A and B are shown apart, each in its own frame.
Chain A
Amino acid sequence: METKATVIRDENSETAELRINMGPQHPATHGVFRMVLTLDGERVVTVEPHIGYLHRGSEKLTEGENFQQITTLFDRLDYISNFNNEWVYVRTVERAMEVEIPERAEFIRIILGELNRIASHFLFYGTYGLDIGAMNPVMIGFRERERIQALFEGVSGARMMHNYFRVGGVKEDLPDGFVPAINALLEHLKKGYEDAKNILTESEIFIERTAGIGALDAERTLDYGVTGPVLRAAGVDYDIRKADPYSMYSDLDFSVPLGSHGDCYDRYMVRMLEIEQSIKIIEQCIRRLPDGPIQGKVSRILRPPEGDFFVHGENPRGDLGVYLVSTGGTVRPYRLKIRGPSFSNLMALSSMMEGAYLADSTVILGSLDIVLGEVDR
């Protein structure tokens, strides 16, 4: 067969829109997330997100479990920040039953919750580096996160699925030598944080790839119900630890980093600055960590009164809310709805991505830092 190279140039031809599928098995979608992109050349015209690949029916499962057992299900929602999930859940039951929590338990919770925030943000740092094509950050991000997970293992016995928070307190006291261990850990984290910052924060390539990309103004971000670092990057000062303080946060000295442009770079910066603030919070907590009981007075079988309760807390990804409907006197919840921050954050994806370059689509998705375990529940 004779082949001949010809340049096809048909005057009547038109450019056509191209629909491509991305995910659910794709390294840059951070889990089983699928989106169908319609492209016009290099530009994204529309985005159709598809979720539900990790739907396990967590909300329905809670209806068949005792109140003590549900903590384990919360571990598996946002599997990057397990302590923070458990915390919001136990606070919901504590609020319903009006349980007093000893001060030591509160401080332990804050220390672990904030460490978990740092671990989560380090993981974001690493994977975000990969999303934009830098190999180094993931080494640093995972190295620092692993140090934290090792400490978690010492405290709770598990690297990730801790099941450590209890209604009224925590499962058991901190292990011997915890304070020297966490002091040494913080020194490591500070060094690791400096390393991390030096690689990306002022890198010209990184700024080129992220600044001005995927920007969404404050009003539209809020309209989608976006919370957490993505909302604060748009300049909205809404951190539940400050706006609706829980636990001992009102006594602690820390600030809420805010962005101004609402683009990918600001989202990255807000998270990095939050690591600094979390370290500051933990240092205060270690200084003030009192002796005493770690478990308040709670009956062995939990029976919250009749009513409905919505409790929320500041997760690394935003506002995690738990809506508990109790019919009173029962050992299982009647209905438990989980409002995951990633779920709402992901809704804003389409409007961030439309009009952007295809190459930036992973950068924008990465900047939302979603965890599909919580999106699909």
Chain B
Amino acid sequence: MLAKLMKYEIKGTARIFIPLYLLLLLFALLNRIINPFSLLENSDNFNLQVLFSIISVTVYFILIIGTFVMTLIIMIQRFYKNLLGDEGYLMFTLPVKSWQHIVSKLIISMLWTILSFITAICSILILVNVDNLSEVLSLFISKFTDIFGTAGFFTLPYYALIALISNILMIYGAIALGHTFSKHKLMASFGMYCILYVIYQVVMLLFILLFGKKNITSIVTSAAPSVLQINTLILELSIPLIIILVANFILTNTILRKKLNLE
């Protein structure tokens, strides 16, 4: 059932993202070919070519920012419209548990976020002609392992993933809380998000003050923090995120199960 929900989730969202990604990559390619930056550098007067270059660069930047904005908007809209709007009548009468709805949307939101990120990076790589890509890459990797060690290839993505999940669930939690209001649900959701965000910050702070002080002080005071210290810190900081993640999940699921009230 979860797989089926995800299938329809992808079907419902791919028609927006795929064209967007293609457009982004296309414009990256276009800009690479036209090479507007050198054009702008070398030309003294303002002519059609310069105008065209300016437009094409602007469009590219709009597309890249737009991709991330769209990812966020779709993430919110899928939850809000598909579960709590009229489509909710279809969704919640399917023989499926409410947590499966949450998880399917969570996973697909994560998918698009990661894909948006990858596409953006690819577009940058297309745009910027990087000579000796393998050299730059190996330089980057050695600098990275200096600070984070090979463990860093696991701990940082792990942290990023936990942070992503936690944030998405916080958005869902806010939308679910907003739904319990009888009027102005959307505004209430925004308000609830602010409140949840404050709580999130407080929990992080409390955690650091209570448990993380020792590790942080030793990292800050030492000249060269060890790879172990850094990675331990990263893992420790993921704990409050996990707490928030679980709390938001339980909150959202409970509201969907017990407090659902479709108009």
The answer on A and B forming one complex is no
